[in-house]
Structure 1
Amino acid sequence: MGSNLSFPEVEIPPDRTYIVTGGNSGIGYNAAREIARMGGHVIIACRNMSKAETAIQQMQEEYEKEFKAKQAKLPVTDRTEPKKLNVEKMELDLASFEKTLKFIEEFKARNLPLHCLICNAGIAMKTKEMTEDGYETNLQANYLSHLLIILHFLPILQKSGDDCRIVQTSSMAYRMGKLDMNNINYEQSFGSTSSYSNSKLYQIISMYWLTRHVKDKSVTITSVHPGFVKTPLTERNALIRKFMAFSRNGYEGATTTIKAAIDPTYKGETGVYFSDCKISSTTSYPKNIERQDKLMAYSFQVLDKYLPRDIKQYVDM
């Protein structure tokens, strides 16, 4: 099943910065490790700083083990020492708009360039739980807070040089999603499967809308389906557990995300959906412009007081 899953080995300049939300485990962990191994500066944005630190240490250990195994096959005179991966952590709690904004402002204060934003972190709640902001947790953590980060970081990406990208880890589960403006915050009914699927659908709808409305088209935005991946999240999700016999490990699941983030072949490709490490097609549902406009009008209303003041300079609203 995974034989066609691969990404090119490229040399990433050390000053090229990648943010990976949820980079301490699963798909995000593997994406962060591989991008750092190829030379990139990687920031994993996570809620739990202790787990993030453990993840960074583990990445280094795994890299050194692999490096030394390859070096052992070389003549002694040709052997070199492993490098230190350039991975660091920043705190991010996507279930809070205030804490998400705190992460945004802390990154801005560092005056770093940003070449790729990988919106990977995701949750799958079994029961209806509301955040401190009053929104269903899947809706806020998987979709709304990531959208807030994208809207704040767009100008940084646009100023960071050639070939800057936004990659969203979505899911084929979007096909089971539906935009119901009368129940978007689950005021009437809640289902764990529908809530997760809807949040992934909204990511793709927003991708299509942003592709049309961002004024500077130099930054690309894509969405990826990683396949059915065995991660801590999916093991808790009843829908995805049904497909675990066909599941991929975290590395296999990360390959499509990595390819969308680093493959030179896809420079300039925007508003596209990846599956199995290649461009695929979504259904017509998220492509509907009226549906896109309704979702984004709602999203901007929810996020209004957290949005950049100059947003209309780079987004046609």
Structure 2
Amino acid sequence: MGSNLSFPEVEIPPDRTYIVTGGNSGIGYYTAKEIARMGGHVIIACRNMSKAETAIQQMQEEYEKEFKEKQAKLQETERTEPKKLNVEKMELDLASFEKTMKFIEEFKARNCPLHCLICNAGILVKSKEMTEDGYEMSLQANYLSHLLIILHFLPILQKSGDDCRIVQTSSLSYRFGKLDMNNINYEQSFGTTSAYSNSKLYQIISMYWLTRHVKDKSVTTTSVHPGFVKTQMTQTNTFGRVFSAFTRNGYAGATTTIKAAIDPSYKGETGVYFSNCKIEPTTSYPKNVERQDELMTYSFQVLDKYLPHDIKQYIDM
């Protein structure tokens, strides 16, 4: 894993709740498993409930196996029994605003606190595909729907404690992205790599905008580059194969996300970008205020009918 890819072992209170989108596979799977192992209450938000249930069972089995291997090295009087990981599933389809809203409303109906929202799910499409809402698939699933969740859950995060966080899984590929307002929905041209890179760029741009405009600064917003991780997504396209020699496994890829989500030393750190388990500067491109305002004006127009009615109470618009 490398000495620079690590997160602190902390004891997470069982009432501290984490949502991990796309928590049934890849980076999200290991993020959810490790946070639950440390004691946290984890909700994996996924499109396929059958795969989510299988993932939860696998997490428990892997945890118990690893636990017993560690216990075998202890004296018999020091040994304990493994716990049941507190992981549950909720249905979320980011390719549909209505289905994303269904997830949002179902979580709100729980009247449950939320301490960390990890926007991890992401797709890289092989060809141009439009959602039922009329937006390019990676634009909506990677960026717009996650932004919608953030905007609805901000008040819950703000009420849940003094160390609540939003962590977005971005990518170093944001450096290859560009905000072209004349082609943001790929009306003129489309490229697999550019669409993915753009969606990751938009996440970082929105992070900087939210840092400036959210009224209550108690909730931190960060972005994470997990490294080039070997997942089903990255192995089925040219972009992933180009970087195959540099790929990490899912666990190594999750370390930076986990660190940003749970490390006590990063309490209060907001508007920052993590790579290799440490804060690194982004390029100046997403920091441009006019560019931020352009993207967010467009985003709010797209999401208008789904926005919280009281959004102006907690965001300067």
Please classify the TM superposition score into its range, dividing by the shorter chain length: over 0.9
Which blocks of at least 5 consecutive residues in structure 2 are unaligned?
Answer: none
Measure the CA separation in 2 of the matches of 1:305 and 1:18: 27
| CA positional deviation for 1:77 | 1.8
The secondary structure found in structure 1 opposite 2:63 is: helix
Counterpart check, 1:54 vs 2:60: no
Match of 2:178 in 1: 178
Match of 1:69 in 2: 69
Match of 2:128 in 1: 128
Counterpart check, 1:221 vs 2:221: yes
**Residue correspondence of structure 1 range 3-42 to structure 2 within 5 A:** 3-42=3-42
Q: Which amino acid aligns with 2:107?
A: F
Measure the CA separation in 1 of the matches of 2:220 and 2:152: 15
Match of 1:208 in 2: 208
| CA positional deviation for 1:238 | 1.3
Deviates more, 1:190-199 or 1:232-241: 232-241
Q: Which amino acid aligns with 2:277?
A: C
Q: Which amino acid aligns with 1:120?
A: N
The secondary structure found in structure 2 opposite 1:232 is: coil
Counterpart check, 1:282 vs 2:285: no
Q: Which amino acid aligns with 1:110?
A: R
| CA offset digits 1:189-224 (Å, max 9, x no partner) | 000000000000000000000000000000000000
Measure the CA separation in 2 of the matches of 1:67 and 1:258: 20
**Residue correspondence of structure 1 range 131-280 to structure 2 within 5 A:** 131-280=131-280
Q: Which amino acid aligns with 1:293?
A: D
| CA positional deviation for 1:138 | 0.3
After superposing on structure 2, the runs of 4+ consecutive aligned residues of structure 1 that deviate more than 3 Å are: none
Contact 1:2–1:248 under 8 Å retained in 2 = no
Normalising by structure 2, what TM-score?
A: 0.99
Measure the CA separation in 2 of the matches of 1:275 and 1:126: 26
Q: Which amino acid aligns with 1:113?
A: P
Aligned length: 317
Q: Which amino acid aligns with 2:156?
A: I
The secondary structure found in structure 1 opposite 2:233 is: helix
Per the alignment, do residues 215 and 48 of structure 1 end up closer, same or farther by CA in structure 2, a change over 3 Å counting? same
Deviates more, 1:132-141 or 1:230-239: 230-239
Which blocks of at least 5 consecutive residues in structure 1 are unaligned?
Answer: none
Measure the CA separation in 2 of the matches of 1:76 and 1:223: 44
Measure the CA separation in 1 of the matches of 2:139 and 2:85: 34
Measure the CA separation in 2 of the matches of 1:188 and 1:3: 45
Q: Which amino acid aligns with 1:160?
A: S
| CA offset digits 1:239-291 (Å, max 9, x no partner) | 12211111100000000000000000100000000000000010000000000
| CA offset digits 1:107-154 (Å, max 9, x no partner) | 000000000000000000010000000000000000000000000000
Measure the CA separation in 2 of the matches of 1:122 and 1:66: 29
Identical-residue share of aligned pairs (%)? 87
